[in-house]
Structure 1
């Protein structure tokens, strides 16, 4: 297990832990968070090309305030690409296991398509019922992050085995978008799987949670965002991520987050992952 402390001048410390081994389910990644008194304003949530599950079990509540002014407390699920400058996570003395799901496995694990989440945050209890309460209790009963990760992974693997999968054509199209970092034309994807552009758009949207063109844009943004968070300059990040120029990158970052690339690159929510984590 790897762990670190993430600290900024305007926010208290978060303890962060990561599993020593990858999940047994491809497309699943996890991290553990322990808050020791988060600043009231909370942390900005940066959009990510995955579905996020937060399994909260600490003494204080995990709170998410979304862009529409709604508030969600406790364990939750956030749809594909959820986040913006107006979405913040906060709380006090909470602990949680954060799970990021590829949209290819999200439907099987959650029991609903990412499209049903429509990019918003919902209570995990609404999707899993009593199973959400049971995993919360079990996570609180064990004392180490490795035990928590093992419990979470076993639950996810069990649900994945019994859940429904996406169409192989949709899975291939998503994989191509990820592999090319969003630099692929939708008509070429459709031609490669033998579908019309309209059919790919419909099936992809209903199973992944957004149209393929929007998904490609989100994946490209995510790639650039992590290059920025890792310390790369905006001009270089724009070139490497396939943007026409630095201004194009700036417009995309503003569209997804509402803030400048420099501001976004320093957000703790973005910095805790495989690429940007120190």
Structure 2
């Protein structure tokens, strides 16, 4: 376990020594004595939080709503800067699920979350209490990661896969860092734009155009945190100009690029998810032969 210090933020962070047996699933462990209100920055993954410490995390959402304890949140949680996390004496395992595997792991489509925060108990019932008790009883973080991975792998194996064309489109969006064009993806797959939009939205929880913007924003935001200038990031990340980047960052976070560059939620990623979690992906052909449908394979059952 390593200590993350960023301004007033001090967290203990643990990482698995081995990758998950499920592609698109990554984890990190956190121990935080005192967490003041922390802005949640949207991320292109479904977030699963399993808490087992003496305290309980609290998410303050829009319109005065709150969510406590173990929870699940759809891709893009915190858009507009409307969600803050806080708490005392927190210990938890945080899981990031690629939207491609989220339906199988959760048992519901990410579309049913609609970007909201939902109590994990509402999805899994009493099983959540048993999982959290087990996490608190095992002697180490590596044992907690192994326990969590085994549980989620079993759920993934039993759950339904998304359409292979949808998975292919998602990986192309991620592989292009949000520069892929939705019309081009539909044409390469051999679907209409309407069909791709419908299947993508119903199975992954976000429309493809929104996914493109979210992945592009995530890439740009981490480059801002790394100290790159906004003008350079805007030009290199596919924005029309610096004003375009500014508008996108404001829309996703409710803050300026300069403010987002100092967000602890983003800065901890290099320690907790050095491979950027769901952005780690299998190779996907970026330039299929003209007239040839891209190879799409259904995951083994």
Under TM normalisation by the shorter chain, which class is it? over 0.9
Q: Which has the higher contact order (CA 8 A, sep 6+)?
A: 2
CA distance in 2 between partners of 1:28 and 1:3 (Å): 21
CA distance in 2 between counterparts of 1:241 and 1:226 reads: 11
| Other-structure match for 1:268 | 264
Which of residues 58, 62, 65 is equivalent to 2:57?
62
1:244 to 2:233 alignment: no
Structure 2 Cα separation of the partners of residues 275 and 139 of structure 1: 22
Residue 108 of structure 1 pairs with residue 104 of structure 2: yes
2:5 maps to what in 1?
6
The Cα shift of 1:7 comes to 3.5
CA-based RMSD: 1.5
Hey, what does 1:136 align to over in structure 2?
Answer: 132
Q: Which runs of 5+ in 1 are unaligned?
A: none
Q: How far has the Cα of 1:274 moved from its partner?
A: 4.1
Match of residue 80 from structure 1:
75
Q: For 2:26, which of 5, 29, 53 is the aligned residue?
A: 29
More displaced 10-residue stretch of structure 1: 140-149 or 249-258: 140-149
| Aligned mates of 1:114, 1:275 — CA distance in 2 | 27
The answer to whether the 8 Å contact 2:13/2:271 transfers is no
| Cross-structure match for 1:20 | 17
- Supply the distance in 1 between the matched residues of 2:87 and 2:247 (Cα, whole angstroms): 31
**TM-score under structure 2 length normalisation:** 0.87
1:117 counterpart = 2:116: no
Residue 165 (structure 1) aligns with: 161
Distance in structure 2 (CA, Å) of the matches to 1:236 and 1:131: 48
- Given that 1:230 and 1:276 are in contact with CA atoms closer than 8 Å, whether structure 2 keeps it comes out as no
Please say if residues 15 and 272 of structure 2, whose CA atoms lie closer than 8 Å, have aligned partners that are also in contact.
no
SS at match of 2:63: coil
Give the one of 36, 43, 46 matched to 1:51: 46
Q: Deviations over 1:203-242 (max 9, x none)?
A: 1000011110111000000000111111211112112211
Shift of 1:150: 0.8
Query: After the TM superposition, which residues 83-98 of structure 1 pair with which residues of structure 2 at under 5 Å, given as runs?
Result: 83-84=78-79, 85-98=81-94
Work out the number of aligned pairs and report it.
Answer: 273
CA-to-aligned-CA distance 1:122-171 (integer Å, 9 cap, x gap): 00001111221111000000121111111111111111010011001100
Measured at CA, do residues 162 and 276 of structure 1 come closer, stay the same or move farther in structure 2, by a change above 3 Å? closer
The more displaced of 120-129 and 15-24 is 15-24
Helix, strand or coil at the partner of 2:269: coil
Q: Which moved more, 1:237-246 or 1:159-168?
A: 237-246
